[in-house]
Amino acid sequence: MQTDDEKTAFLEATSASLAAGTFLKITLGKYRGDGEMCKCVATRVAIKDLPHVRFVTSRGRQDLTLNKRSTEAVAHLAALIGTDYLSATLFTTVEDMSLVYSKKKIGQLTRGRPTLNEAPPIEHNRQKAYLVDTHAPYLAELGVTQAGGVVKPSMYAKFRQICRFVEILDQLLAASSLKEAPSPRIVDVGAGKGYLTFALHEHLSKRLHKAPVTRGIDANAGLATACAAIATKTRMTGLTFEATLADAQAPSAFDVLIALHACDTATDDAIALGIKGDAAIIVVAPCCQHEVAPQLETRHGPLAGMLKFGLMKQRHADLVTDAVRALLLEAAGYEVRIIEFISDEHTSKNLMIAAVRSDTVDRKSAAAQLEHLTTFAGLKQQKLRALLGGSDKQ
């Protein structure tokens, strides 16, 4: 049959390109399998110096990775093409080849000039130097890993977030006065399920050989209790969890204040707590910000043509809100970095404000910039400014 001939030719070309070293990648589309729509990309990888093909299937926000020996990869493709996927494109340094099936499952094969003409270096599957140990007991208890320290496919995105968080905090600690501190004190506001709280505490204890005192707080008593039980079970000394709110905390001395995805002005509560607590490091990832948007003037002014659109107004408000927070932190004596926490392919709420206390910050300049910004934006009130004793505009 024509379909078999076309598919056979495609698979033979794939096999030949793998053998010749001209293979770049294969993309599979037009998904017709079970469940949510997904796509698959196959690339070369060396595992223990042996050639393999890595299949990464993306379904929603989850990626499932499957490695096959080159000799097995073609058979795996044969099972996918024409059944789960009705289109496949082979990219080599010599040519591109596409196989597309009609509704009647009749395949049509086309060839063209190569989109890419230089083979990228083969990825090696050597263990990446993660700052997070996949064999850590807390990861298993939190459902991130399974037997043998293997990250569950459904938790890849979360594991990458944990690694990124620890990487950022490791860099901030090295640049702060806490670099030599033997027992840093950490407060994680809105700790949730504790993924990042556990990871930072473990990093400080096992990697940096410190004796941290870490306190995770969350309004959800069930989550706080569950995390406390895991901390006890995994014998993580110095790590505690409790159910409370950031704005209910009397300022007390601590070194690191963390608040990731605290909703709306809860981020302001957390930052104020950190500043009043004289924290050396303050790290927040704002979420769901609604205070500023209603204050923006949408009918007049140079930005009226943009702010009349709801989505653009909210994004502008988010940026203004976080710029005000950053300037308030600078005015309080912190060196501020704005960081992309995780890729925006996973979430649009990916901005992180990282502040390290410093004696070299130009606090007067930050205060002046804050006045210019709030005047231009027309802000009459902003919670963090109020919490720090700033006057609202009348």
Mean pLDDT of 294-306: 80
Looking at residue 155, what DSSP letter applies? Answer: G
Residue 136 to residues 39, 88, 140, 224, 354, Cα–Cα distance (Å) = 32, 40, 7, 20, 26
Task: Kindly report, residue by residue over 125-166, the tens digit of the pLDDT.
Answer: 544 557 899 999 999 999 999 888 888 878 888 888 899 999
Q: What pLDDT score does 1 carry?
A: 41
Fold type of domain 137-387: Rossmann fold (3.40.50)
Mean predicted lDDT score pLDDT of the chain? 87
> What's the gap between Cα 10 and its chain centre?
37
Across the range 351-356, mean pLDDT stands at 93
- Nearest to 157, CA basis, from 141, 144, 142: 144
pLDDT tier at 122 (50, 70, 90 boundaries)?
low
- The pLDDT of residue 28 is 94
pLDDT at 117: 64
| Residues paired with 64 in a beta bridge | 57
pTM of the model: 0.67
Compute the distance between CA of residue 206 and CA of residue 236 in angstroms, rounded to an integer.
Answer: 11
In whole angstroms, how far apart are CA 64 and each of 11, 42, 162, 348? 23, 12, 18, 22
The arithmetic mean of pLDDT across residues 11-31, rounded, is 91
The pLDDT tens digits of the residues spanning 157-216 come to: 888 889 999 999 999 999 999 999 999 999 999 999 999 999 999 999 999 999 999 999
Phi, psi of 91 (to 5 degrees): -110, 125
Domain coordinates in residue numbering, the chain: 2-124, 137-387
pLDDT digits (tens, 9 = 90+) for 239-266: 999 998 765 555 567 999 999 877 878 8
